[in-house]
Structures are given as C-alpha cells and as structure tokens.
Amino acid sequence: MPDLSMWGLFVVASVVLLITPGPAVLYIVARSVEQGRTAGLASVLGIHLGTIVHITAAAFGLSALIVSSALAFAIVKYLGAAYLIWIGIRTLMAKVPAPETPAVPAEPLRRVLRDGFVVNVFNPKTAIFFLAFLPQFIDPARGAVHWQILCLGLTFMGLGIMSDGMYALAAGAAGEFLRHHRGFLRFQRWIAGASFVGLGVTAALATRK
C-alpha cells in the first residue's frame, strides 16, 4: 500500500486528469448521445474493464514492452485505430430510420460494452499513461512494487468510473432532448460516425513520445 500522503496526492492528480475530456470520454459521450444513458453507462463499464488490462500490464511489465518495441506499439495502435474507424463506418452506413418510426435502432448493450473494452484495450496512449504516471507515486521501500501499482491503478479506475459515469449521464440527458428534434435525428448517425472515425484517426497518429 502506498504512503497515505502520496496516495492523497495521487487522488488529486488523478481527478485533475480525469475531468479533462480525452478519447475515452468522447467515446462515452458519443454513445450516450446516440443511445441514451444506459448505453453510455455500459460503455463506461466496457472502458474500465479495459482499464483493468492496462493496470495489470503496467504492474507486470507488459506496458514497458509495448512502449519499448516499435513493432508491438504499432500493432496495438493500428488495431485500436482500425476498430474505432470500423465502428464509425458501421454507424455511418446504418439504415436511416423511416420518418414514421424516428427511433434509431439501438446497439445491444453487450456490443456497446464490448466496443468500449476493445477501444480501451487497444489504446496505446492508455498503456503509456499508466507506465509514465503510476511509477511517480511508487515507493519501493514500502514493499512489492506491483502491488502498489495495482492499488493505485484500481484507485484511478474507481475515480474514472465516477467521472465517466457523470459524463454518460449528462450526455444521455442531452441526447434525450436532442432526439426529440427532427433535425438532430437526421444528422445523428453522421455526428456519431464522424466522432468514432475521428477518434480512430487520433489513435493512429499516437506516438511513443
């Protein structure tokens, strides 16, 4: 267990980082606006199930391998980018609902959760973040380093679930309002699809710096 004062500093730093929107937040917001709060919260759960993978990898050294190996980094980066772009294209190509049935067909929640998990697992920026951020709060004199990393990582994940959940609820409420306006229904799939494609392009441009 890290020193309590260091753990408190870690919590403050994590909150500051988490309230700044990043790719995961944009993904959650897009899902929430498109399908509502329940889908947004499912995407939050999927994102943070992926976070568990990165925490474990950081604790046992796999993140260091990804960052140090240009090939491993490239494979993870382009798989994640391709998956995001595929989600965007699938959204853009979805059948436009008829005017008399304006509701947009919802993705099954298990698919929303799966997409969130895959998006985060194949986001190399997350691996780099944990590798660079967590060790700053580790004290080898306090015991096994991997247990300290796991403790800090789970703390970060818990804070992330709360902050991302608030984004999902807020975006879901806004989506419910917007979905009652015919103009938004017309462009909804284009907005969501373009958002996912943009996230994929951003992931593809990630560097190891």
Q: What is the pLDDT of residues 82-105, one digit of tens each?
A: 876 887 787 777 665 554 444 445
The mean pLDDT of 142-159, rounded to a whole number, is 83
Best CA proximity match to 39, nearest among 185, 176, 191, 163: 176
Q: 48-72 in b/e burial notation, b at 16+ Cβ within 10 A?
A: bbbbbbbbbbbbeebbeebbeeeee
Residue-level pLDDT at 100: 46
> Which of the 8 DSSP states describes residue 99?
T
Residues making up the chain, counted from first to last:
209
Q: How far is CA 91 from CA 120, 130, 144, in A?
A: 19, 31, 46
Give the C-alpha separation, 69 to 67, whole Å: 6
Q: How many CB atoms lie within 10 A of CB 150?
A: 18
pLDDT tens digits for range 23-46: 778 788 888 887 888 989 999 999
The mean pLDDT of 114-119, rounded to a whole number, is 87
pLDDT tens digits for range 35-74: 888 989 999 999 999 999 988 888 877 666 666 777 776 7
pLDDT tens digits for range 1-10: 666 777 887 8
Helices 124-133 & 70-92 angle (0-180, nearest 10):
130
